[in-house]
Amino acid sequence: MLSNRLPFEARRRAGRLTLTRSPGGLVSALDPVLEQTGGSWIGWAGISDEELRKAGGLPRPKARGIRYTAVQLSQREVAQHYGQFSNRTLWPVFHYFLEHASYEAPSWAAYDRVNERFARVAVERAPDDALFWIHDYQLLRTPFHLRRLRPAAAIAFFLHIPFPAADVFRVVPWSRLLVRGMLGADYIGFHTATYAAHFLTAAERLLGCEVDRPKGLIQHEGRTVATGAHPVGIDAAAMEQLARAAGTGGRPTAGERGVLGVDRLDYTKGIQQRLQAVERFFELHPEHRGRVVFTQVAVPSRERVPEYGRLKREIDENVGRINGRFAGPDWAPIRYLSRSLDQATLAGLYARAEVALVTPLRDGMNLVAKEFVAAQVGAPGVLVLSELAGAAEELQEAIHVNPFDVEGMAAAIDSALRMPTEERRARMAALRDRVRVGDAKSWADRFLADAEVAARRGKASAPTPVEQLTRRLEPWLAQRDRTAVLLDFDGTLTPIVEHPDRARLSRAAERALRTVAGARHLEVALVSGRALEDLRGRVPDVGLTLVGNHGLELEGPGIRWQHPEAAAWEAGLEAAARAMEGLDAPGAWVERKGLTLSWHVRQVEAGRHAELLKKGEGLVRAQGLRSVVGKQVLEARPPVDWHKGRAVLYLLTHRYGEEWPTRVRALYLGDDTTDEDAFLSLRGIGRSIRIGGPDPSSAADHGLPDTEAVHRLLHWLAAGAYLGPNR
C-alpha cells in the first residue's frame, strides 16, 4: 500500500514524537486488508526530515501484522510536492477550478522526484510477488517509476478524486507525463464510470493509445492496462453503531427541525453557495423561521494557504450577515462550527438531522453523504445531494440538485422538509441498503480481485508495439495515396555500435530497406548525421534519397543540394578537431565528416563523459560553431539555422510542392537528440516515431522499442494494405 500519508500522524509533544491514529473510512477499510494479507503500508508520516531529526526519529507504530515505512521528505519537498503541485495544480484542475491553478516547473520536478522516491522505498521493502496498490493524486507518477524499477510487478492504482474531461486535464503542462505515469499500473480504478471514460479519452488523445471503451482497456507500450469504476464505501456498520449510541430516540414532531452540512473547508465544497441557498430559503419561506436551524460544520483545512484563509473569512462574514438578518431573541438560522468533530459527535448530528445538504461544486465521491445515510437509525431523514458529486451516480434516491443553482437548492430544502414520511422511509431504505452492501471492505475486496485479474492478463493479451502503432497509423496513412518514409540510420535502421565505422546493415535491415524502396506508394529517404559519402557506401543503391550531415547535404533522384554557407566553416571545424584530439581523453576520437564533425566519448570511462562533453562544447564554441550533445557524442556544426527538421521540410517541398501535406503523408523515424528537430518540425503536419525506451521529454508522436520493430514496421508499410484494394 502506497499513499501520501501513513494511517497515523506524528506530532511533537514535550520534545518527543507521538503517533495519533488517523480517523476515516479509508483507514478502517485498508487496515483489515493488510492485516489479513500481511502487507506493508508506505507513506509520509506528516513530519519533515528536519523535525524528525530534532525529535530523535520516528517511534515504531503498533504493527498488528502490518509493516509501516515512512518516506522521508524535507520541508522544501513537502511544500513543493504536496503544498504546491498536488494541491495548487492537480487539485484545482481535477475539480475544474482552473482559476485556482498554478503551473510551476520546480514544483513539478519535486513532485516527480518524490513519486520516484516512493517507488524506490516500495521496491526495497516488497517481495518479488507483491501487489503494489498506489493511492490518489499525490502519487500519479509512482506507477511509472515502479514499472521501471520492477518491470514484472503487479501494480494497481486508485484515484480518490475526480478525473476531469480530457480537454480540461490537458491544460496541465505535464499532462502527458501524468497519464504515462498512471499507465505504469496494470489496473486503474476510479469512483465512477464517467471518470474512467475521461481517462480513456486522455490516454487516447494525449498519448495516442489504442483504447477499447466497452471493456475499459488501454494498449500502452506493449501492455494492456485495465480500468474500472469502484465507488468507495464507508464502514457502514460502525457509523450505524455510533448513531444508535447517540440515543436519538426519534425526532420530535414540534420544535427545532435540523438541516445539516458537514465539509472540510475547501472551495470545492460549495459552502458559500449553500449559505446563499439557506438565505434564499428563509426569504421565500418565512414560515420556517424560528423552527428550522441549519448547522454547518466546516473542518479547518490547509490553514497556511492564503486562499483558504480568505475563504474562511468570507464564510464567517456570510454566516454573521445571514444570522444578523433573520435571527430573533431565541433563534438563529445558522449554527456554525469551525472545528473538527470526532466520529461519535458527527454520528449524533447525522442521526438528529432531518435534512443533509451535501452540495459540493465537484467531488470525487463524498463520504459525508454515505455517513449520513448510515446514521439514519431513527426517523428517516432526507439527503439533498449535488449532482456533481461522484456519490450521485450511486445514491439515486437522494434529491439531486445543481450546486450552482441557488434557487433550486432553496426549493430542495423546502421540498425535503415537506416530504411525507412514507416517501422519506422508502427513499432512505433504498439508500441504506446500497451503502451497507457497498461498504469499505467490499470496495477493497472487489478492487483487489479485479486488480489481480488485470495483472495476470496484462502481458499475455497485449499486442506487440508494432501492432499497436500500425493500428494508430492506419486511418491516417489511408487518407493519402503516397507516404514519405524518412529514416535515421544509426540507432534506427541499424543498432548503435561501439565505433561508427563498424555499423553495417544486417540482412533483415537490408531486406526491409529494399522492400520499402521497391513499393510504388512509398518514397524513402535516409536522414543521418553521417557524411553523405559515408552514408552512400553503407546502403544498397536502390533509388533512395540520402540526407547527410544533419541535413546540410542532400542527393537523390532529381535533387542534389548543399547548404550554401556550410563550407565556409571547414577551417573552424578542423581547429576544433585538433583541440579535442589534444585533450587527455583515452578512448575518445574525432570523426571528421566534411561539413560537420563528431567527438565520440563512448569508449571513455563512464565517470568522465559529462566532464569531457562539457570541455568539448567549450572548444567548439570557441571556433564560433554550434554544439549539439547526443548519445555519448558531441556534434560540431556550422552556426547556420539548419538541422534535420529543416532538411526534411526542404525535401518534401521540393518533391511535392508547398502544399505537400495535401498530397503525401510524412513519417519520420529517429532515435537521437538530433532527431528531435525533425520531430518538432513535423508536429501536426506529419507523424514521428522515437526508437528506444520511453522518453517522456521527446517530441515524437509514437515510440518503438528497437531496430527490429522498425524492420517489421517497414514491411507493413511496404505491403500497403491500409490503402485498400482499389489504390
Active site residues: 488
Return the amino acid letter for 114.
V
User: Which strand (E) or helix (H) includes residue 408?
Assistant: helix 406-418
* Cell numbers given for 127: 517481495
Cα(150)–Cα(129) distance, rounded to whole angstroms? Answer: 11
Cα(320)–Cα(166) distance, rounded to whole angstroms? Answer: 40
- Distant-in-sequence, close-in-space partners of 418: CB < 8 Å, separation ≥ 6: none
For 535-571, the three-class secondary structure string (H helix, E strand, C coil) is HHCCCCCCCCEEEEHHHCEEEECCEEEECCCHHHHHH
Length of the chain counted residue by residue? 727
Contact 465, 709 (CB under 8 A): yes
Cα(442)–Cα(419) distance, rounded to whole angstroms? Answer: 32
> Pairing between strand 257-264 and 223-229?
unpaired
Contact 494, 503 (CB under 8 A): yes
Cα(458)–Cα(276) distance, rounded to whole angstroms? Answer: 50
Q: Is the dihedral of CA 125, 129, 131, 132 positive or negative?
A: positive
> In the 8-state DSSP scheme, what is residue 489?
S
User: Which strand (E) or helix (H) includes residue 500?
Assistant: none
Scored b (16 or more CB within 10 A) or e, 611-639 reads ebbebbbebbeebebbbbbbebbbbbbbe
Phi–psi pair at 560, nearest 5 degrees: -150, 120
The helix/strand count (H/E) of the chain reads as: 26, 29
| Cβ neighbours of 472 (radius 10 Å) | 17
Return the amino acid letter for 75.
Q
Contact 727, 527 (CB under 8 A): no
Cα(704)–Cα(692) distance, rounded to whole angstroms? Answer: 6
**Smallest Cα–Cα separation from 77: which of 131, 118, 36?**
118
**Smallest Cα–Cα separation from 46: which of 20, 24, 67?**
20
Count Cα atoms within 13 angstroms, Cβ side, for 633: 24
Specify burial of residue 683 (Cβ count, 10 A radius: 0-12, 13-18, 19+).
middle
Q: Interior CA angle at 179 toward 173 and 185, to 5°?
A: 155
Write the DSSP assignment of 95-145 as a string of letters: TT-GGG----HHHHHHHHHHHHHHHHHHHHHS-TTPEEEEESGGGTTHHHH
Phi–psi pair at 484, nearest 5 degrees: -95, 120
- Distant-in-sequence, close-in-space partners of 23: CB < 8 Å, separation ≥ 6: 342, 343
User: Which strand (E) or helix (H) includes residue 168?
Assistant: helix 166-169
Scored b (16 or more CB within 10 A) or e, 275-298 reads bbbbbbbbeebeebeeebbbbbbb
**Smallest Cα–Cα separation from 46: which of 14, 67, 22?**
22
> In the 8-state DSSP scheme, what is residue 323?
H
Phi–psi pair at 363, nearest 5 degrees: -155, 140
Cα(303)–Cα(31) distance, rounded to whole angstroms? Answer: 29
> Pairing between strand 665-670 and 687-691?
parallel
